Amino acid sequence: MLIALSRAFLLSRPPGADYPMRSLSELTKLKKEELAEVWGRSEEIVKACFARRPNYNDLIPVLLQIGVCDELPLRCGLALHIPLRPMLGSITRDLSEMLTKLQGRDFACEFKYDGQRGQIHCDDQGKVSIFSRHLELMTDKYPDLVKLVPQIRGEGVSSFIMEGEIVAVDQESGELKNFQALTNRARKDVDIGSIKVEVCFFSFDLMYLNGQPLLDRSFRERRELLRSLFVEIPHRFTWVKSLDATSGDSEAVLDFFRQATDIKCEGIMVKILDNLPAVPYVGDDKQTDDAVDVPPNPQTKQKGKGKGKGKGKGQVGGDGEEKKKTRRKPLLATYEPDKRLDSWLKVKKDYNSSFDTLDLIPVAAWHGQGRKAKWWSPILLACRNDDTGQLEVVSKCISGFTDAFYKANKEHYDDGGESGEPKNTRTQKPSFIAYPGPLPDVWFEPQEVWEMAFADITLSPTYTAAIGLVSDERGLSLRFPRFLKKREDKGIEEASTNEFLAGLWRKQEAKAATATAATDTKDDADGLDEDNEE
């Protein structure tokens, strides 16, 4: 929808509007790279605006007046009681990788609490709204937090948007409880007098203050305002526990990580404190948006052998390459809604460099054989392509499922064969799914994320996931995929991307090359010893 809007307002305007347009005849003369830049720029503006204010009723009237221009995010920016999309952290597999990526920078390590991410809005009239990370209104779920807001608002604070983690806490001891305890609270119409699961709000960011957006301020500035203008209340409202460090403080960071895991935290978040665009970025991950527009765009071609085919970077509906300079961005300490950047890194206790997993979306299946004939098996799984909005099929899986899971899965994805009432399925292949292989018996409505383990990642002539990122003619697939669990905490917009899949493949190949080099070195040494003996 956002891509369509960006192009519509670039190519046309309503009566009475005078904003500049681009003509089709002019655009048809451009090279693919130039056209991709034109589309990409307008898409970036519209998506950035919607990430800050995800409300079409606010966006469309402004577009009708001024079209797609740099003024759009200013005219339709942050607004109280409309949740902005949260900034997301990139996964890093261990502390050493994190320290390498952030060389030359000051950063903050924060406890990653096992709770529910929350966004609190408060206007100058005292009205409070609380939203989840998925932008769901949950004010009624936390009347105790609503009652708390007047007590934490310091002198001179009239309005704000604050972000933090809502964690179940023992009010007497301050002991943290796990996320499961939090799920025992009712979801709506909660009576404040009947609350049994008490919570604490661990704040970590301030995005709006007294009518002014703070997104372009550095994290150090935003954090200073948060901690100086709000009042801490033990076991009810406080700041996330943090440690400021540099890449040279490896022992202190390791000790902080151990402290986090010792008190039942998931791990730590690591955030750049200051804007230092001149400091070179050591990491190899490309900085990308983490938005998936629903429904995904069906136009991009994924197959082809010509130069640049299948890459589709920076554009939708074409196969040209985008100039690399638009894909590599400096690591800044600003708040970037709806983006997953290496400015924020998360290191969780269950991450291990020798055991990678992917969060994939089930998109289709076949009827099983033998005793599995009434169930779906195998099941096709896909990753996201952030550039095109498509879901790219990675592999089919038959391993890791229990009979109980098969039964529940068949009830959830019902083709209507027995019940007569289809549910969460389609009969035709959705245009936004990239899969050129044999047609399955049923297509699923994409709506779940499953965590998958695997032996390794291979180049595939069948699957087109990440095609163009590691090979122009082959995609990537999984060898021996195995289902681990449903990710109840993740929506499909948070599933693994083709960029992440390609990154894992590169690391796998680098490790293999290192191992081969080590073997060759040993063989050379053995040969030298034999020569010396002779």
Rounded Cα gap, residues 120 and 79, in angstroms? 12
Rounded Cα gap, residues 105 and 158, in angstroms? 34
What angle do the packed helices 56-66 and 32-52 form, to 10 degrees? 130
Report whether the peptide linkage leading into residue 295 is cis, meaning its omega lies within 30 degrees of zero. Answer: yes
Q: If you count them, how many residues does the chain have? A: 534
At 92 the three-state DSSP class reads coil
Question: 47, 101, 112, 271: which one is catalytic?
Answer: 112
Closest CA to 365 of 352, 381, 347: 381
Closest CA to 346 of 134, 113, 119: 113
Rounded Cα gap, residues 9 and 76, in angstroms? 16
Bridging pattern class, strands 160-168 and 116-122: antiparallel
At 486 the three-state DSSP class reads strand
Closest CA to 53 of 292, 338, 344: 338
Rounded Cα gap, residues 486 and 451, in angstroms? 6
Strand partners, 165: 117, 202
Closest CA to 495 of 385, 377, 370, 379: 385
Rounded Cα gap, residues 101 and 172, in angstroms? 40
Q: What angle do CA 367, 424, 400 make, to 5 degrees?
A: 50
Give the number of other Cβ atoms within 10 Å of residue 516's Cβ: 10
Closest CA to 162 of 174, 176, 148, 175: 148
At 49 the three-state DSSP class reads helix
Report whether the peptide linkage leading into residue 378 is cis, meaning its omega lies within 30 degrees of zero. Answer: yes
Q: Catalytic annotation on 112?
A: yes
Strand partners, 88: 340
**What is the CB-side half-sphere exposure of residue 98 using CA atoms within 13 A?**
33
Closest CA to 509 of 450, 452, 469, 463: 469
Rounded Cα gap, residues 322 and 314, in angstroms? 6
Rounded Cα gap, residues 313 and 323, in angstroms? 9
Residue with tokens 């959705």: 430
Which residues belong to the active site?
A: 112
